[in-house]
Each structure stands twice: as C-alpha cells, then as structure tokens.
Amino acid sequence: MMEKKTLLITGGAGFIGSHVIRLFVNKYPGYKIINLDKLTYAGNLENVKDIQDAPNYEFVKGDIVDDIFVLELFNKYKFDGVIHLAAESHVDRSISNPTEFIKTNIVGTVNLLNAARDIWKGNIEGKMFYHISTDEVYGSLAEEGLFVEETSYDPRSPYSASKASSDHLVRAYFHTFKLPVVITNCSNNYGPNQFPEKLIPLAINNIKEKKPIPIYGKGENIRDWLFVEDHANAIDLVFHKGTVGETYNIGGNNEWTNIDLIHSLCKIMDKKLEREEGESAKLITFVKDRAGHDLRYAIDSSKIQKDLGWEPSLQFEEGMDKTVDWYLANSEWMNHILSGDYEKYYTEQYQKR
C-alpha cells in the first residue's frame, strides 16, 4: 500500500525549493505536500505553476519568523516530515542587510524546530526534520583540500554565519530534545528558475541583453557547481533513507574559477545566439570585489555516495546547456522579475562597484 505522509516543504517557491516540490509532488502522489513560503522577492509561484493544481499539493503563504502562525500551521496539518529550505540566500544582500538573515535563517528555523518538537513529543516514529544547509558554513579553502562533514565551522559572511547558527540549533535539538533531524550541506546550485541576482543567471541575462558581466575581483574565486535537479534527488534520498542525527555533504565534484566558468558560458551563448565567437566575452567587466569574499569551496561528497548511493547524474556541459536553453525559452519569467523591485537592487548593487 502506498505510504501516506503529510510533508511541510518551506521555501518551495524559491529556486531549489521549487525543484524539490515538483519532484515530490510528481513522485509521491500518496503524500500531501504543503509548500510554505512568504513570497519574498525571491519567491515566485511561477516556479511551481506546472504542479499548482495537483491534488496532493497545497500552497500556504506565510512567514516562518511568525512563531504563532508556525505553531498553528503544525497543529492544523500534523506534519510527519519537514524539509526546510526557506531562507534569505544571497551573500551580497547579507552584506548590505544582515538583520533579515538573522530573522529568517535563525529565528525562523527555531520556530519550525519548536513547532515540530511540540507536535511530535512522545511520538517521533517515522518523523523527520530535514534542514537544508550550505557548504559556506565551513568557511573558505585554500587551493588544496575538500570540506568533509567533520570540517570545523568557520562562516565568514552574515549569510553563512546565519546558516551555521541554524545548523547548530538543529543539532542542539537533536541532542537535547531527541528531535529526529538530518542536515545536508550542499555546494553551489545552478539550473532553471534561479533568481538573477546569482552569478550564472545574472551572466546569462546580461549576455543576452549585451550588458557588462560583472566579475568580482580577478575572477579567481572557485565554486563547486551542481545541477539543481541532482540536489533535489539527493534531498529525496536523504529524506527517505538518511540516518537521523547525521550530516551529509553534497557537491558536484565540479570546481571552476568564476572567470573560466564565465568564459565557457560566453562560448555556449555565442553559439546559441549565433554570435561571432568571442563576442560575449567582450562583455566581461572586472568590478570591486565582494567584502570578505571566500576564495574556494569544494565538497567531498563520498559519504552520501557510499552510504546512500547518490551521485550527480549530469555532466556540467549538459547541465549548462539545459540551463541556458531554459533561460532563453523563458524570457517572460525573467521579464516579470526584471520589471519588479529587482531593478533597484541591481542599480544599487553594481553602480558602487
């Protein structure tokens, strides 16, 4: 018989959350899936419009920082599981406005933990609180080495400090209150539906519009890129097969300096837009570096590979190809974003550089 579960997924109107919602709604018709999202600038119901009428899906607009609202929601739905993705997620915004990050990423997470604790007390059988975190909590690597699950935390931006704090609290609720939790720390995601404040969609859009591509510093910083659907598949696996109390690192084994990544993107876009080779690369513009810019992130994901059998399915070239095609085919999605508050953010963020 198909298992019945009521699941709360927070942040499901955002980039990664929307891919997780789609996967779960389609793969688990017997589950009831509640998408809780505040619809901040980064939340967009267009990201989930293909599944919005599915019988096993419901959207609730709300703020995880509101503790009374969160508790009432848990009491109403009696969730069996929580997959917590809602967050303020952009490092640059955390530099200009740290407080929002403290509220959503720390206080919001504690509100969810308290509510789960409240409704699960005495009955944790089959329950799971899954906290989605980032490799940025581990700090910055030099040229050698990889982040493993035991790497000491050393967050260096308000964003990563707020995520680190929430990770510590999730672990504290496991140790102190026996709340069944699991955490994953993932590297940089890319793919369809990513908000254009992030490097890859920002560059795709600027290349298309023939606008300068802003590269911080010398472009020597290194990130480990993973296609978003591979992250969603890992989340499915960890939610169902992960061991309570454990942490799993997730990464693409796919390191690029920003400048090499953008050169490769320029080549792909020249071909797709039928421009002369080298034309898009002329748009590359070096701008003032990000404050406290972490040099390198790189993940050792051997634990999740060995224990749960996960591995990335897409090669980077294929993932980038799919991503660029999606943005070129969905200019309406981008235009809706560009016509809102984003223009003001973009001007403020880049005119000072």
**Could you give the CA distance from residue 282 to residue 305 in angstroms, rounded to a whole number?**
40
Residue ranges that bind ligand NAD, judged by CB under 6 A? 10-11, 13-17, 37-40, 42-43, 63-65, 85-89, 104, 108, 132, 134, 163, 186, 188-189, 195
SS3 250: strand
Report the relative pairing of strands 255-257 and 222-227 from DSSP bridges.
antiparallel
199 binds, among ligand DAU, ligand NAD, none (CB under 5 to 8 A by kind): ligand DAU
Minimum CB–partner distance for residue 20 and ligand DAU (Å):
15
Q: Supply the minimum distance, in Å, between the C-beta of residue 235 and ligand NAD.
A: 9
- Residues contacting residue 156 through CB under 8 Å, at least 6 positions apart: 139, 140, 292, 294
Binding positions for ligand DAU, 180-199, rule CB under 6 A = 187-188, 198-199
Question: Residue 8 phi/psi, 5° resolution?
Answer: -100, 125
Q: Is 19 in the site for ligand DAU (CB under 6 A)?
A: no
Look at residue 215 and give the partner it binds from ligand DAU, ligand NAD, none, a contact being a CB closer than 5 to 8 Å depending on partner kind.
ligand DAU
List the beta strands (DSSP E) in the chain. 6-10, 32-37, 57-61, 81-84, 128-134, 181-186, 188-190, 213-216, 222-227, 247-250, 255-257, 284-287
Binds 38: which of ligand DAU, ligand NAD, none (CB < 5-8 Å by kind): ligand NAD
Rounded to the nearest 5°, which phi and psi values hold at 85? -110, -15
For residue 258, state whether it binds ligand DAU (rule: CB under 6 A).
yes
Write the single-letter amino acid at 66. D
Q: How far is the CB of 185 from ligand NAD (least distance, A)?
A: 7
- Per-residue string for binding with ligand DAU, 107-146, x by CB under 6 A? ---------------------------xxx----------
Position closest to ligand DAU via CB: 134
Please, which residues have CB within 8 angstroms of residue 278's CB and are 6 or more apart in sequence?
270
CA 20-24-30 angle, 5° bins: 160
Q: Among residues 64, 86, 91, 283, which is the contact residue for ligand DAU, using CB under 6 A? A: 91
Least Å distance, CB 206 to ligand NAD, is 19
Q: How far is the CB of 101 from ligand DAU (least distance, A)?
A: 11
Strand partners, 8: 34, 82
The type of residue at 162 is: S
Positions marked active-site? 135-136, 159
The mark string for 271-310 relative to ligand DAU (x by CB under 6 A, - otherwise) is -------------------x------x-------------
Contacts of 306 (CB under 8 A, 6+ apart): none
Residues found near ligand DAU in the complex (CB under 6 A): 89-91, 134-136, 187-188, 198-199, 202, 214-216, 221, 223, 258, 290, 297
